[in-house]
Every structure is written in structure tokens, then in C-alpha cells.
Amino acid sequence: MPFFGSIFWSCSLDYSVGPSISPLTSGKAIDRLHSLEMAVQRAHEGLIRWQAESFEQLSSVTLSGAEITLLQFIGDGGRSKSIKEMARVTNRVDIPNIQYSLRKLAAAGLTRKQGAGRSGVSYSLTDEGCRVAAEMRELRSGLLGQAFEGRPEMAAQLESALAVLEELTGLYGGAALVPAPDGEG
């Protein structure tokens, strides 16, 4: 079987960058990839639904899953975040939509904007934003702590899943940059 692959640079959330090689293998591997893609889609939809339902219990503000994700990311690490950081970590390219979400979070009193200009703007949580983000983390920890109780293998499985998902993120990101083999596309 000929090798139709690509070599490209992959950047992950831990800031490591390195070359990746992606061979297109058997039909079985492609079928498994499709099954994984569908499972990721279901997990994403479940996460978004859970975030929205949980957030409704903690605040009278109605937010989308993407907005809740931004709120939680801004609160991570105890420092303000730029739009560029938010776009990179969430793998989004829709900067105007991120800006809209940030205005919505600010109008709700959950975030504040500091600085000015294109590169000097950052966002941090207000006291109310910190409270809600902390309560979301506690709710998640309690729920998942119960679910993982008695399952010590889950930590290793999550590490493996994270590695696969980071690699797939790089593959999908690089796929648009690689021309199709002759006669395709």
C-alpha cells in the first residue's frame, strides 16, 4: 500500500511543538477514527449540555457552552488572558464571536477587560466570575470524583485519551495545509 501521509508541525496545549507523521492506513483504522470522531462529538454535546444546566443552577445569567468554556479558561491559572490565548487553547478561529462572548460575559459582570490596543488587551474574572467559576469546578470535581471512585485505571486512560486527542487536533489542523494526492480533491 502506498504511503499517503503528511509531515507537519503539531502544537499542543502543553506548548510542545514537534513534527508529526500521519500515514493513511487500512480501512479499519479509518472506520475506528470515524467511531472516535462520533464519540468525541457526543462527549462534546454532553459537556456543553452539562455546562449549561450546571451554570443555570449557579447564576441567573444564560450562557452558551462556548461562553462557559471561556469563563472557566479565563479563571484558570490566576492571571488574565488575551483573545489570542483563548483562540489557541479552544482551537477557535472565529475571533469576532469570541469578542462577542467576552462582551456578554463582561455585561453579566463576570469578566473585566484590561489594557487597550490590539496586543495589550486581556481579560480577567470579577469577584462574581471567580465565585461562579469556582463553584463550577467544585460541582465538576464532585460529580466526576463520584464517577471515578473505585476506578484507578481512569487516570491512565484519560492521559492516553488526551494524547490521542492532541495528536488528532494537530492532524486536523494540518490536513487543510496538505494537498490531496494526484487525482483526488
DSSP state of 120: S
Domain containing 85 equals: 26-155
150 in a domain, yes or no?
yes
CA angle centred on 166, ends 89 and 148, rounded to 5°: 95
CATH classification of the domain holding 79: 1.10.10.10
pTM reported for the whole predicted model: 0.73
88 in a domain, yes or no?
yes
103 in a domain, yes or no?
yes
Q: pLDDT for 54-112, tens place per residue?
A: 899 889 999 999 999 999 999 998 899 999 999 999 989 899 999 999 999 999 999 99
181 in a domain, yes or no?
no
165 in a domain, yes or no?
no
Q: pLDDT for 151-185, tens place per residue?
A: 888 888 989 999 988 888 888 887 766 666 665 55
17 in a domain, yes or no?
no
63 in a domain, yes or no?
yes
123 in a domain, yes or no?
yes
Partners of 66 in beta bridges: none
* Number of folded domains that form the chain: 1
